[in-house]
Amino acid sequence: MIKIPPYLQKGDTVGLVCPAGYMTLDKVQTCIATLQEWGYKVKVGKTVGGDSQTYFSGTDEERLNDFQLMLDDDEIKTVLCARGGYGMGRIIDKIDFKKFKKQPKWIVGYSDITVLHSHLYSNYYISSLHSPMAGAFNEEGFKNEFVLSLKNALEGKKIKYQCEAHEYNRKGEAVGELVGGNLALLAHLVGTDSDIKTRGKILFIEDVGEYLYNIDRMMHQLKRSGKIARLAGLIFGGFTEVKDTDRPFGNTVLEILKDIVKEYSYPVCFDFPVSHTDRNYALKVGVGYKLKVGKTKVTLEE
């Protein structure tokens, strides 16, 4: 059975860290203030708003050390990654999870943090939270249902989400552990120690800023590696800011996704609110869910 980290209590401390891309300190202020309003203390890592002059929030060693400190700090009960970007794949194999295995805590984030979610699930069978990060709190985002879904998840409230049916949906019901994340990262993790087994699982996938041909290529990579053949169910989230080449690829992103799974019979949901936009529900990776893809609506619940 999946290990569930302890849910947060009032007065617990949330660690804020940038293990991948750089983020300025002013971009996390609303997040910090909101977490405090929720009743939590906040400890900010050195990689948040540091003096890095590159894409990364620090050197590999600096990012590794900062994340390791958060992971091993007994006071910190949840580690919230302020942003994704790129960089987890450069340090994941050097992180020491010995103490974490004995005293798991919630690891929160998405996008590049897919590497962490998959690694924790595959190697230690510990749940984590694929959810909004610090930037989502800005511009009054802290008031929306998606950021609030993070609060509810951290507090241990049972999850039940709904969305409208999509014309490409394949109706049905599925029960299984929920795994997945960013398509690019899932494809890049194939064959590594962070690769996930998907048989009998509910897989969710989203991505941003990719060319149509690259989405097609990565989906075929998942298909060829056996990741989508024996699923219990499949959830396609948002595929946003999609780009095309000068000579058109020939299919829309939805047509690409629909075509790749046409030979299977499990239920499939399109346009579920998990994405690089503000429509991004908090999802507990590794936890058992029930997916119902109906005629007029889709529900996903623990």
Question: Please, are residues 280 and 137 in contact by the beta-carbon 8 Å criterion?
Answer: no
Q: Say how many CA atoms lie within 13 Å of 200 toward its Cβ.
A: 4
* Structure token digits, residue 99: 């103490």
In this structure, which amino acid lies at residue 217? R
Task: Measure the CA dihedral 181/182/184/190, to 10°.
Answer: -10
In this structure, which amino acid lies at residue 184? A
Three-state DSSP class for residue 113: helix
Give strand pairing partners of 291. Answer: 174, 300
Phi, psi dihedral angles at 67 (to 5 degrees): -65, -40
Pairing assessment for the beta strands 202-208 and 172-182 based on DSSP bridges: parallel
Three-state DSSP class for residue 140: coil
User: What is the rounded distance in angstroms from the CA atom of residue 228 to the CA atom of residue 209?
Assistant: 23
**Given 57, 131, 194, 206, the catalytic residue:** 206
Question: Please, are residues 92 and 22 in contact by the beta-carbon 8 Å criterion?
Answer: no
**Given 111, 127, 128, 194, the catalytic residue:** 111
Q: Does the active-site annotation cover 111?
A: yes
**What is the length of the chain?**
302
**Given 117, 119, 130, 276, the catalytic residue:** 276
User: What is the rounded distance in angstroms from the CA atom of residue 8 to the CA atom of residue 153?
Assistant: 9
Burial class (CB in 10 A: 0-12, 13-18, 19+), 63: buried
Residues annotated as catalytic (active site), given as ranges: 111, 206, 276
